[in-house]
Structure 1
Amino acid sequence: MITFDEPAGVSAPATPASERAAGRRWPLQPLQVADLTAMLAVMVGLNLIRFGGPTASSYPLHEYLLAFLAFAIFQAVIAYFAGLYEPEPRLGSRPQLPRTAGAALFAMLFIGFGELMLGVYYLPRATLPAVPVASALVLAVNRRVARAQRRAREGAPRVLLVGAPREAHVVRAHLAESGAGAPEVAGQTVAARDLLVRVEAAGATDVLLLNREALDAIYPEPLLALERRGIGVLQRITACDTLLGLRVVREVAGMPFVALRSSTLPVSRARCKRLLEVAALLVLAPLLLPLLGAIAMYVRVVAGGPVLYRQQRVGGNGKAFAMVKFRTMRPDAEEGRGPVVSPNPDDRIIPACRWLRASRLDELAQLGNVLRGQMSIVGPRPERPELTAHYERLIPGYARRHEIPPGITGLAQIHGRYHTDPEYKLSHDLQYLANWSPVLDLQILCRTVWVVLSGRQ
């Protein structure tokens, strides 16, 4: 790892920039061939499963092969225009399944509408509903395999940190706790001057800008030069930057201005969110009630004493409320300590209840808070009043996360960890408020299940 305090001389990078750029622009043809092959296999496989062998009398396979090939090509064309063949960044790549699902669904709707209008069915109608599901999965798997092959070929990303020592220290801590697969820190520098030289000296594949001043120093050059060499440049988003997601462009006397909204989530959308969550709880009640009852009985038997634990937290509009959890800690856990951030490991947890805490099942008691309107299923996690007051003094704009009721899970919880820096968590919380949608809530819930199953704390 290289630390730059003064302008550095050029040394040979670990991997030549030209080779890294070539790696970044890996050939598209193999992925296109893989997609076409996989799509054709999906169509043939579904036909065989539904109608039997290739000589089935009702739907002989050979009569549909040309239509299957045409559909596979059409799906690849739709995938191209959906951006699924654009070069993947080394860092911060987007989840592929939502994108492949959208492309597959659009292609199937187009084909289905065309068959309906023409009255000619080139694809067996019985298999049409399964095609977009299977197509989305195989397209996503192909990209996952391509990403793994690229990483095996190029190795782990090597990042150069540009920012103040304190900012770099926080980023290093986050990278260190991310475990296997995290980028390696190739070096760090306070100033962005001579950035191209420093990147080559450190053999970095990507640059992380930790403050806005660094971007001003490299735009437009050497930013363009870095892009031409295949070096990824990412800027850290602060809470203040996140609020720019609320911007609305207005024209004043022919000049463009940006108007910042006063609230992150309009009242109508907040009410829509509330309505959807209550409806979801009512639909899932037959499944949730037995589970909650079983957890309550378990806590009563193994821990004794009260089943529920109530704790003061700060909710919507900064109002305090009693958040409920299934009790997993000893009754005297906070005597002599007062409210603190939970240590890791936490010796206050009852051993027989540790799995409840690790699986987050103890949080399900907060569904009662959701029904009372004190919490949401998805939203910023509530903090204690003492910690909230501390963070509001420490972090500008921290109070904006209280514009909606807090959640059982949230964007910060699936992207960070329990001990993630609170300013980083605030950035995630404000991004969630600025970009809320039912689809985003569903994605967060699915990712929460994955985080729990993977055992990440």
Structure 2
Amino acid sequence: MPRRADGGGPVGEPSHTRRRPLLGRLNRRGFRLVMLLDALAVLTLTVATMVYRFGDPPWPTYSLTAYAFSFGISTLIFVVAFYFGGLYEREPRLGGAPVLAHAARLSLAAGSFVALLNLALTGFAQQRGSLLGRALPFPIVNLVAVIVLAAVAVALNRGIVHALRTRREGPPHVIVAGEQADLELARRHLELVDRADFVVVGEVDDAMSVVDAAREHGATDVLLMTGAWLEEWYPRTIGRLDRMGTTILLRVTGRETLYGLDRLREVAGLPFVLLLPQTMPSSQRHFKRLLDLFLLVLTAPVWVLLLGGVALHQLVVAGRPLLYRQTRVGVGGETFEMLKFRTMRVDAEADGGAQLSTQGDPRVIPACRWLRATRADELPQILHIVTGRMSIVGPRPERPELTAGFEKEIAGYTRRHEVPPGLTGLAQIHGRYHTDAEYKLGYDLQYLVNWSPVLDLEIIARTIYVILARRV
């Protein structure tokens, strides 16, 4: 088998398969070696600031054991903040976005949390009349210094990792893809820049042959010069390239900037934006799952009482079966059995076909209309949130029969399946049961692109308003 010119692996072998087996498996599970470098940097800075201010240990007020525990917990908080802030997501080797500003924001957030935790534990200890309850003896002046220096250290670590990766794997191998006019533009720019940082291994002017070309040349990156190809590439081509470990960068023109793109990357004097097969990074999906579990535990007394009360009401007015089971499409297009309180007649779909509900639907039991108006019929889905099949906030889960039709008729409909479906969502607080599917999709995709914990809390608050307003 032919080898690469730089002495790397065989031609056609993706870069990620040339890693050591253990490191490759850990990477696929979200672990990065740079996590250890960041943790070591934060811990070293923490100890160094204490030595600079107080000299060699023992330090005043607390034992070395208390300080060691405090610094260990603080370091963990910093690394967790970096993880959930997206610092450990896979970044392209070409046109990497600046890290310092991003790391500074996350470092400030982590340091602020440490300070608040320190203040809370100190107050708790003072109430008990003892200093033993203070678990984070971290002088505030030292903490401020660590916040500033940690951001710098994280940025330096990224530079070290990038240099080591280039030394191990060689420079990025790039394929330039696009129509002939766009390829000519790329050639002109590439002639004017120092190309020591990457190697162009091929050009592709056929949208459907880029995967074969990337495999043949062992490309690590693809520069997509023609934006119109996206319609043909999404989602299959982009997904296949991502599974091969190949990064895709789209050249940005004036048309794309009208969509409010941010975090542009520069390659050979041209602006690009990173294309990803999934809208929401894995770190955000994990953070969203933790937020779901936290809110479930916090509100358990409320939703347990609501479930019990509505169940008794349904037994009286609707009888058995109490629950309505229906197959719905969940995350990744996988189906699951969704549970709802039954609000329609037992023979609501006796003709055998899946039907969307309509305003004033005659199949709805009159005494149950308020359940649909307030979304209380959705309460049993909380059990699916516990198991992870659903989320508190997300796109509404649809039936497979309806989803199949929507996917054929509506471009981009499958993207709403990137996260678990939600008990409520942006489309639900703006729309209603009978709202058009394409209209709802716009809200679903807007939610995925702009997700944050604050957005979830805002949607939950607005859902409560919708329930109280009894909209239908």
Q: TM-score, normalized by length of structure 1?
A: 0.48
Q: TM-score, normalized by length of structure 2?
A: 0.47
